[in-house]
Amino acid sequence: MKSKKLIEMEDKYGADNYHPLDLVIKKAEGIWVHDVEGNKYLDFLASYSAVNQGHCHPRLLKVFRKQAAKCTLTSRAFRNDQLPFFNKEMTEMTGYKRVLPMNSGAEAVETAIKAARKWGYQVKGIKKNKAEIIVCSDNFHGRTTTIVGFSTEDQYKDGFGPFTPGFKVVPFGDAKALEAAINKNTCAFIVEPVQGEAGINIPPRGYLKKVEKLCKANNVLFIVDEIQSGLGRTGRMFAHNWDNVRPDGLIVGKALSGGFYPVSAFLADDEVMDVFNPGDHGSTFGGNPLGAAVAREAVQVIIDEKLVEKSEKHGEYFMEKLRAIKAKSIKKVRGRGLFIGVVLDRPARPYCEALMAEGLLCKETHENVIRFAPPLVVTKKDLNWALRRIEKVFKKLG
């Protein structure tokens, strides 16, 4: 069936909650995707960092097939033979003592919120139902009603109230504002080390170090959301590693399964994780053997193929070339590793559509920012291929 018919079918029977580019992908491998007409495109979005390892990585496919043929789900009513290894390997890789696996990124954020609040009551001694969590402006932590309630994007909240109380918003990158917002009822500060949906916003140098110091001084949990920025995307295993800090809690997802299965997790040490008792929190699919097996291999692929190092090297090269493009429409190029935003003085959607016509897929964010975030397996040759098309589009559109 042709793209036009498939798009009409999707729009007729599906909810109108996305505005995708009008191509229909049928096949994907590595950095390349193919539509139903057989056209080939270079994927420069990587499913919002979910396929850092590339589409349909052969090692992940092999593990997925092998585990799917043996056991896919036990629920947490019973134990399985993959979760113990997942837990052990995740804690060894991150340095945290405990892990709580979930499925989507939003679920992992909700888990962190629950952990922080309960820690606030049981450990810090905050009075019942008075706990507060501080977040940042322009944050994107997910789509649940609790999470959108503390978003500063009006559209994310419109029509979905009333919202969960207990959240304060401070400007991103402003340590003094955070200090002023902390009080005796503050249990946690949750922040993205690099804000992805906001347009690849990078905080001032030393910001996370100041945050770490403030949180320790005030007995507040410092929790980082690395769902998009983690697992090699910024040229470090986790974006907070750039600032040499150790948060009290770590939220991961997306690339944790390389695009094969929704897998996420919240990691922390005993003092935080011990607040959970059987029945306090859970998920039927969280920690399932199929997801655990795939996640174990997904992390190992990142390590074995040195994707973190490649991200840093290729990201520096790509940003240097982007900054050399002579176009008045480009206000700024910012990023870390292969997590890059090109800020325009006009809407970015026409540029994304023009790039699609040239065989390069990317997506606008916050209206005037083009996000470039290819799978980390991309090569310098591939980047040069993309740069030629990017320069062509900017020459055409201004």
Six token digits for residue 178: 């955070």
* 108-111 contact pairs (CB < 8 A, 24+): 108/227, 108/251, 108/252, 108/253, 108/264, 108/265, 108/266, 109/141, 109/142, 109/144, 109/147, 109/190, 109/225, 109/227, 109/251, 110/142, 110/144, 110/146, 110/147, 111/251, 111/266, 111/281
Residue tagged active-site, from 138, 225, 248, 382:
225
Q: Is 140 a catalytic site residue?
A: yes
Six token digits for residue 352: 């994304």
User: Cα–chain-centroid distance for residue 198?
Assistant: 12
Radius of gyration of the chain (CA): 21
Gap between the Cα atoms of 114 and 14, Å rounded:
32
Say if CB 255 and CB 49 are below 8 A apart: yes
Give the Å distances, CA to CA, from 132 to 114, 129, 187, 277, 322. Answer: 12, 9, 6, 22, 42
For the chain, the straight-line distance linking the first and the last C-alpha, in angstroms and rounded, comes to: 36
Q: Which amino acid is at 363?
A: K
Say if CB 58 and CB 260 are below 8 A apart: no
Residue tagged active-site, from 254, 260, 310, 372:
254
Gap between the Cα atoms of 205 and 60, Å rounded:
36
Can you name the residues that pair with 51 across neighbouring β-strands? none
Residue tagged active-site, from 44, 64, 140, 318:
140
Q: How many CA atoms lie within 13 A of 395 on its CB side?
A: 8
Select from 348, 316, 351 the least CA-distant residue to 335: 316
Gap between the Cα atoms of 215 and 98, Å rounded:
21
Residues catalogued as catalytic: 140, 225, 254
